[in-house]
Structure formats: C-alpha cells, structure tokens
Chain A
C-alpha cells in the first residue's frame, strides 16, 4: 500500500467552522445557530465534545460572574480587577465586553441544569470569592456539549485540525482548514466562509516538575496542545502578550486548586517554620515593581514572587494551613469535593500519602509555566474589539476577528483578556459566534476558493511521519532509537528542555535573559528542522506529532515575545535577569508579533494600551 493508499479525502463545506469543542467552541456553536438559522455550522474537535477541553473532568466553581442582578459587581469592576492582577496590561475593551455578557451565560447554564449552589441566607448564588460562585460541576462539560450538539449542523469528533487554509481569490482571507481523523486516518478538507478558532492553550511546552508517569499530571490539561496559537500564527495572524506565561501556586504534585481554600475556607500560607512570609518580601518586591505591590488584591505573580524568595532563602516548604478550617465538617466536605469535582488527582495524592488536611497542613509549590489566554494570564491572538466603544487602533472589522479576514477566535485563543475562565470563554465564544454570522451575511458571502495544490501539499506533509517511520523502522532491530527518525515524545521532551533551560522554566527558577533567549531560539530552530524527520508508528502518534508542531510554533512565539519585552513585568511568572525591573515608561504597552511562514521570520511591534475605566 502506497502513502495514500486506502485513505479517503472527506470534504466538508460550512458557512462557519468552529475549531475546538471546549467551552469557547460550544459557546460559539450555540450562538452561531441562534443568529444564523439557515447556516451550515460545523464544530470540529480532536477528542469528543462530551468530555473535551480544559473542563473535561468538571469544575467546582465558575470564576467569572458579576452578579449584576444583586448589584454585587459591575463589568467595570472586573476590568479593574483583571488589569490590576496582570500588572496594568489587559485589553480593557475586550474584558469589559465579556463581563457585561457573562451573567446571561451563567443564567443560561443554570437553566440547562448545571447545579449552582445557593447561599441559604440570601438565596443568591453561593460566593466563593468576589468573582467566583460555587457549583456542582461534574457534568458541566456534558451539559454544555448537549447544547452545542443541538445547535450544530454537524459535530466532527476525533478530527485533529493541523492547518488553516487561505482563500485564493482574496488576499488575507481565511478559507477553511485541513486535518485528519485519528481513528480512520481519513484526510479532511474543510471549506468555510468564516472560521472560529476555539482550540486549547499550551501545556507541556515547559518541562513539568513531575517525571515519568507523572508528566501527565500537569496543571493544565495535557491535551491543550497550543493549537489555539499555532493555527492562527501559521497564516500570519498577529499575536499579543505571548511572553505573559503563567505559573500557578498549587498543592504539591496534584496541582489541586487553592482558590476555594483561600477564599471560602479561609486557609492561609506559612513557611516551613510556621511563619508568615509574604510581608517579609514587601521591600524587595517594591524595588522591582514600585507601587504595583500596594494594589489590592496583591497581583498573583507578586504572591508567587514572595513564595519563591522565601523558598530560595531556605525556609521551605510553603504550607497551606488547613488544620483549623477542616475542623468544621462542612468545610472539610467542601475541601474534598472541590478536588473531586475538578482535580481528582490531588485527592489521590493525599490518599496515597496519608495526608488528611484536618491533621496535616499540606505543601504548596509553584508549577512549570503555561501559556494560555483564559486564566490569570492573557496570551493569544490580537483581535478586533466591540463596535460600540473599542478605540480605533483596536477596531478593524468584526468583534473578535483577528488580523486575518474571516478568522475569529475565543477562549484561550484571544489575547489580552485575562480572568475569563470557563464562563467567560463560553461567553467569548458566543460573542465570536454572533460576529461570524454577521461577517458571513455581510462581507463574507462568497464561498472562498481553496487551492487544491495547497491542500494536497499539506496532505503529503501531514502523513509524512507515518512514511518516515515505515521506512526507518526497517533499519533497526527493535526499540525506540533510530538514526532516521524521532518519535513525538522525543521531540516533546527536547522542546520542554529547551524552554525550561533557556526561556525561564523551573530549572532556572523562572529566570532568563537576552543571551539565553537567543540561544534558545537557535535550538528551537534545529528542532523545527528535525520536525520533517518525525516518525509516527500509528495515527495516535501522528496526532502527537502535530500537537508537537503546534507546541513548537507557540514556543517560538513565546521566546520572541520574551526577548522583545525588555523588562520584568510579572516577577513570579518569569524574570529577565538583564532587565529585572518593571519599566512603565517604555513597556506599558502590548507586544505584538507576526510570523511569516515563507521566510520563517517574526516581526515584533508595540501596541498602545487604553484604559477605559478609572
């Protein structure tokens, strides 16, 4: 059987193609159907939308809810909060837009059957903190998937999208996407008038703390493989704030969340000798970032910074003081169910090590860095803002459209909008969905023309690793070591090591500098060359190969952005040793990049920050 023997090409035509069926993708699919009754809306997902994306195992809280109906918060309050937490730099127009719509999304989720806890005294949603409400969210994703299935013309599960296609009849307009079915191996060509990228952010680009089996126990899902970034990057969409990676302080080894513990259970941290330590590092932090340290709440990165300094001073481990709170049986139940609802692995770690937080104060640690756009960080694509108030520099077309015509994004994909979480990502999907319908009915009426030459060339490229393996495998007796090909796990581990050692991972305590970053880029370039020699034994390995391709492109982007921003804006997330201080005079701005796939070059520029709320 030849290279393409027995493999079908499946053509799928759509008006709107939604790539990724997680929270953002399901929101985009739902809203597209509401406004576009007669349109063909196709949602494509590499797993199964019933349990895919970052919410696959459930959530115990919705972290973005205003509570406008009870006057709890207004959208502008959320903008202030996110701006403060991200050290001044967020797209306030986009953040406000999500905040003004998000309550409607949450009310819809409750109507669909998501159990939201209520405060027995007030009858309002049970608050975990100022922005968080508590839910029994084991079935959060199946509920949302049910709504998306009812909205879509077709849901294509188990298809890994590898590349976007461009329209041949118009410059800079998207035309569709290609990918392959990870079960049958069939080649899929999607042709669409508008494409909404709602794929996942990036885990596993930096070396994780766990080794061996445990490398899957990352904080963010191991299947979040940076497709959110690589797909738009490859067609020249501008990206923003890709240097703004996030490091999480979490319970050790299981990365169990600390939000409910801090906010609801009122537990607190101390060093290995039972002392409060954050105040001790106030002057040190102030010398780096100035008055940002005095803001309330203290920005997440700065709290990480104090923890890192305390551990480096030899007074670890940092512990969460749970013994007091867990004497209350209700709080004990909340503490455990919080894990079982969203990070089951943490319950396993504690059960295996006989850690009962009623008797032992569990250890905390800082994670390896992650790149994503929906948590307390905001890497992603540079997108057009809402038509009714976004500044001119932020507006060139339809809401949430990237710098490529007809290409929209939501969730982890869109940069500058931190703290959207699950409800905000779903909401941003809805915003993008409506805008895409508008685009298809107005500007993008014509079916794009995709080049047969282009998708046939891509087909050859996509399946090449199977051929590399088939041929190279005959050279060796057995095992995984070949002079002719690398397996995807080999490439992944090389990527993680480069990023870890040169771009500010755990091995260097998140420290990097211009010299290290430039050397990192040289090593990434060699890995990029080696990608043409990847070997895949089967379709599963082929999926891993293309996930690696996406992670590598995103990593290159992260490294260029980190090199470009000559300051340390977020100590505790990463440090530029050659520019240790925050520099508002020169860097109170967004960083933007554009990749040219023909030359392989990255063009960097600055974009202004607008503060829309006092």
Chain B
C-alpha cells in the first residue's frame, strides 16, 4: 500500500528520506515536504511511517486491489518498547493490537570487540564467536566426519 504525506503535518525533516529502504521518499523542491516519488516500488513496510516524528505519513491501499475507506495506523514508542496498531475496516469495524519491540535498552548491545580477544589458534577451528557456550549444549559444536558423505543418487 503506497504511502502519502499530509501537507499540513510534514515539516520536511527528512527522517523518512533517510530510512526508506526503497529510496522512494524524497523532499519536494517546491513545497519542502516529503512525498512518495514511486508508489509502485513501495513495499508498505511502514519504515517511514514509524520514523516520522510528526505522524505525517499514512498509507492508502494499492488502487488496483484495495477499495477505499480503510486505515492501518501505527505508533512505535522506543522508550516504552512497544508498537501499537489500529485497523479500521471499510465498513467501520476496528481492531487494536499492541506488541513489545525490544526487551533491552536501545544502544545496550555489547560490540564484538568488547569481549576478550579469542586465541589465535581458535581461528583455525570451526567455532564461531561465543561458542561453544552460546550453543547451550553438552559436548560442544556438533560435527560430521568426512566418511559420512556419500556421493550419488538418493
């Protein structure tokens, strides 16, 4: 469903331009506000809708199969760690949903270089970072023997 931008709400900040995976949210040179330059390459991923600080971006279902009168709105709150959805059907029925989006604080991931450096000899082995511990199995990383390989027809 392609996105569109409400003229009175957009302040041209460009967050949507920065985030759009399809590079289709651009700022109009005359109005200094964002718009969808290529609706037929929009995946309705809602990345721009979620990123807009002014809630200026909405969507209208693809004209070739979606009758008018519906709406699917969302509010993503990073500090609360939730995303809320409100669906409105063409006939007016409504449905509401809320889901968690993250269990830890933003920016809290430990970078790989913050862990103790692996021994040089471990580079030759098959274990990846944090293994075997991260696998939570007894007996370490599973492996096959070369003689378990059989060439041919099933």
Contacts and interface: CB of A to CB of B under 8 A. Distances in A.
Interface in A267-291: none
A340 B109 contact: no
B79 interface: no
Nearest to B129: A34
A217 B43 contact: yes
A213 B63 contact: yes
B26 A151 contact: no
A349 B37 contact: no
A138 interface: yes
Interface string B88-131: 11110101010111111111111111010110000110101111
B97 A182 contact: no
Contacts of A48: 18-19, 21
Contacts of A76: 144
B76 A101 contact: no
Nearest to A157: B18
B153 to A, nearest CB: 5
A218 B123 contact: no
A113 B108 contact: yes
A136 B71 CA distance: 22
B22 to A, nearest CB: 5
A68 B76 CA distance: 34
Given A101-B131, A108-B134, A115-B101, A344 B45 contact: yes
A608 B43 contact: no
Interface in A439-460: 441
Interface size class of B (residues with CB under 8 A): 35 or more
Contacts of A128: none
A150 B68 CA distance: 44
A327 to B, nearest CB: 15
B19 A50 contact: yes
Contacts of B148: 389, 612-613
Contact of A147 (B42, B99, B109, B151): B109
B66 A353 contact: yes
Nearest to B114: A150
A546 to B, nearest CB: 12
B91 to A, nearest CB: 5
Interface string A583-612: 011001000000000000000000011111
A35 to B, nearest CB: 6
Interface in A402-433: 427, 430-431
Contacts of B152: 588, 608-609, 611
Given A30-B129, A47-B21, A108-B134, A217 B95 contact: no
Interface in B29-52: 37-47, 51
A147 B45 contact: no
Interface string A200-237: 00000000001111111110011100000000000000
B47 A430 contact: no
Given A136-B99, A136-B101, A151-B113, A610 B149 contact: yes
Contacts of A146: 106-107, 109
B56 to A, nearest CB: 18
Contacts of B67: 352-353
A143 B109 contact: yes
Contact of B123 (A35, A351, A353): A35
Contacts of B80: none
A354 interface: yes
B139 to A, nearest CB: 10
Contact of A56 (B47, B149, B150): B47
Given A216-B41, A391-B146, A344 B46 contact: yes
Interface in A97-150: 100-101, 103-104, 107-108, 112-115, 136, 138-139, 143, 146-147, 150
A74 interface: yes
Given A113-B104, A212-B40, A31 B143 contact: no
A93 interface: yes
Which of A96, A214, A351 is most buried by chain B, counting CB atoms within 10 A of its CB? A351
A337 B97 contact: yes
B131 to A, nearest CB: 5
A544 B111 CA distance: 34
B1 interface: yes
Nearest to A150: B111
B72 interface: yes
Given A103-B134, A216-B42, A388-B126, 18 more contacts: A103-B136, A104-B130, A104-B131, A115-B100, A115-B102, A139-B102, A146-B106, A182-B23, A213-B2, A216-B43, A217-B44, A223-B21, A333-B97, A352-B66, A352-B67, A437-B123, A438-B123, A611-B151
Interface of B: 1-2, 18-24, 26, 37-47, 51, 59, 61-72, 74, 76, 83, 85, 87-91, 93, 95, 97, 99-113, 115, 117-118, 123-124, 126, 128-131, 134-137, 141-146, 148-154
Interface of A: 30-31, 33-35, 37, 46-48, 50-53, 56-57, 68-69, 74-76, 88, 93, 96, 100-101, 103-104, 107-108, 112-115, 136, 138-139, 143, 146-147, 150-151, 158, 182, 210-218, 221-223, 253, 333, 336-337, 340-341, 344-345, 347-349, 351-354, 356, 386-391, 427, 430-431, 434, 437-438, 441, 540, 543, 584-585, 588, 608-613
